[in-house]
Structure 1
């Protein structure tokens, strides 16, 4: 009898598009190839083929990272966006402020007493 493993969490299953890659991976690898291959042929004559290959790899690496890297179900651009938000956009220290319901009631009672004293002609102090 044939046995096929079925994952319990189906949200992690991604549909494959081409060569067992997702559409996102195919798109990012394509962009990497569009940047890296012409760069290799432009720099090959001036720097030599080994140095041109290293430059090509360095130019293609960000595209590969965007295609492959994922943490907790979030792609790399979402993680970078969260990092930039917390590091540069939002304030460093967050002030912890609570709204004490009982302090509000106490302030309200004190205010009513003061208004009552003013209305009856007695000085508040």
Structure 2
């Protein structure tokens, strides 16, 4: 009797279309093949076979990377976008600011103390002097 391993996390299982490749991989491999062969045959006569092969490799490599590379379930373009966001578009320094509940309670207590002092009439602050009566 043959046993087939079944993964516990089925979210990481991807549907294969042909040749045990996903649709995304097939699209990028086809694009790499088309671009690489086109450039190879265009450059073979004028630049030589070895230079044409090197240009073909350099052009096809990014397509292969976009097809195969994944980090933490994210494709290469998402990883590159995240790197660009963190390095260039968002601010470098993000100061840590908290909502200090204790400071809010202290301010509230101070304000309540001032209000009660004003209500009792014995508030002593420089700006809150009683006006002189003219008479």
Q: Give the whole-Å Cα distance in 1 for the aligned partners of 2:48 and 2:79.
A: 37
Bigger CA drift: 30-39 or 63-72? 30-39
* Alignment correspondent of 2:101: 101
Q: Could you list the structure 1 runs, at least 4 aligned residues long, displaced by more than 4 angstroms after superposition.
A: none
Determine which structure has more spread, i.e. the larger CA radius of gyration. 2
Gaps of 5+ in 2: 127-135
Structure 1 length normalisation: TM-score? 0.91
Shift of 1:112: 2.4
Counterpart of 1:110 in structure 2 is: 110
- With 2-11 and 13-22 compared, the bigger mean Cα shift is at 2-11
Scaled by the length of structure 2, what TM-score is found?
Answer: 0.85
Task: Tell me the CA shift for residue 89 of structure 1.
Answer: 1.1
The Cα of 1:121 is off from its aligned counterpart by 5.7
* 2:64 equivalent to 1:64: yes
Structure 1: gaps spanning 5 or more residues: none
Matches within 5 A, 1:27-106: 27-106=27-106
Checking the alignment, whether the CA contact within 8 Å between 1:25 and 1:68 is kept in structure 2 is yes
Q: Does the Cα contact within 8 Å between 2:114 and 2:123 map onto a contact in 1?
A: no
